[in-house]
Amino acid sequence: MYNVIQLLIKYGAHILFVVLEIICFTLIVNKNDTQQAIFLNSSNVLAGKLEAQRSTLLEYSNLKNLNDSLLRENATLIENLISIEYSNELIPGSDTVLAQYSLIPTKIINSTINQRNNHFTLNKGSREGLYPGMGVIASHIGLIGIIRNTSDNFAHVISLLNSQTRISCTVKNRTGHGTLVWENADPLRMTLISIPKHEQIEVGDTVITSGYSTMFPRGILVGKIESIKVPPGSNSYAITVKLFNDLTSVKYAYVIQNRFAAEQIKLENEVGHE
């Protein structure tokens, strides 16, 4: 007991200081709203920092899922763009046209660009609804090619940069249509042939898909006209088109699913056989 009293005498001021500060802080935390909020918050700041660290660490593993969802979102947006193009230009108010095209997002897993006949491989196949003859685009701006062959899980695409490529194209706000081919070895330029030379066409015009096939809807932007020539003795232009998209760096692609393709091809074949 004596010791306790002696201790109190010796350290009384310090003890009193601690006691008074404890009283003060108890009052501060209990009676003041802001400090109470901050008291709870400060721990949250720490927790929040930890959470942020954790999420940055785990972000990389989520990137794949994130990419997939973005791809799906993009597919829907491009579908809408195509639908708008059609609802403006073709049959107003037709529901079937709006639903004609849908897009399947895919990833390009293999590509060549430096050969005379270039190819792509996509990471989805017939299991996902991909079939030979479907068009492949990079986005609303830019074609990629046409599916030539599919397996269960992969699809083989003939690139635009291929000597076999023939895509029906037209010039925006002009009449007449021609065929887009790849003649020179430049991966950024293609040639639009067989537009009759009486058509009015100028350098700088935009080349779009014509929609005269089951592969691509009308209005996918392809490129800009860079130069126009008329080969001697020919009745049509040879137009150099600079592509909007760079096929050497493309990583994702959308396959265009045309719900009425089979119907159209069947009908056209019947007419052909007669």
159 within 8 A of 165, measured Cβ to Cβ: yes
For position 23 contacting other proteins by CB under 8 A, the verdict is yes
Residue ranges of the alpha helices (H) in the chain? 2-31, 33-89, 95-98, 261-273
Determine the interface stretch with other proteins among 22-30, 66-74, 96-104, 193-201 (rule: CB under 8 A). 22-30
Q: What value, to the nearest 5°, has the Cα angle with vertex 211 and ends 124 and 106?
A: 15
Angle at 179 between CA 266 and CA 105, to 5 degrees: 65
Can you tell me which of 5, 7, 16, 185 binds other proteins, judged by CB under 8 A? 16
Interface segment toward other proteins; rule CB under 8 A; list 32-40, 122-130, 201-209, 223-231? 32-40
Produce one character per residue of 241-257: b if its CB has 16 or more CB atoms within 10 Å, e if not. Answer: bebbbebeebebbbbbb
Partnered with residue 121 across adjacent β-strands are: 110, 156
The yes or no reply on residue 12 touching other proteins (CB under 8 A) is yes
Question: Rule CB under 8 A: is residue 231 a binding residue for other proteins?
Answer: no
Out of 32, 55, 110, 175, point to the residue binding other proteins (CB under 8 A).
32
CB 31, min distance to other proteins, A: 4
Q: Which of 5, 7, 27, 185 binds other proteins (CB under 8 A)?
A: 27
How many of the chain's residues bind other proteins (CB under 8 A)? 21
Residues 35-64 that bind other proteins (CB under 8 A): 35, 38-39, 41-42, 45
Q: What residues are paired with 168 via a beta bridge?
A: 179
Member of 1, 4, 13, 271 binding other proteins (CB under 8 A) = 13
Query: What's the CA dihedral at 186, 188, 191, 197 to 10 degrees?
Result: -130
**DSSP string covering 112-165, please?**
--SSSS-EEEES--GGGT--TT-EEESSSB-EEEEEEEE-SS-EEEEESSSTT-
Is the Cβ of residue 6 or residue 153 nearer to other proteins in the bound state? Answer: 6
Contact residue for other proteins among 31, 116, 198, 273 (CB under 8 A): 31
Q: Examine residue 4 and tell whether it contacts other proteins (CB under 8 A).
A: no
| End-to-end Cα separation, the chain, in angstroms | 121
Select 21 or 51, whichever has its Cβ closest to other proteins: 21
Question: Which residues of the chain form contacts with other proteins (CB under 8 A)?
Answer: 12-13, 16-17, 20-21, 23-28, 31-32, 34-35, 38-39, 41-42, 45
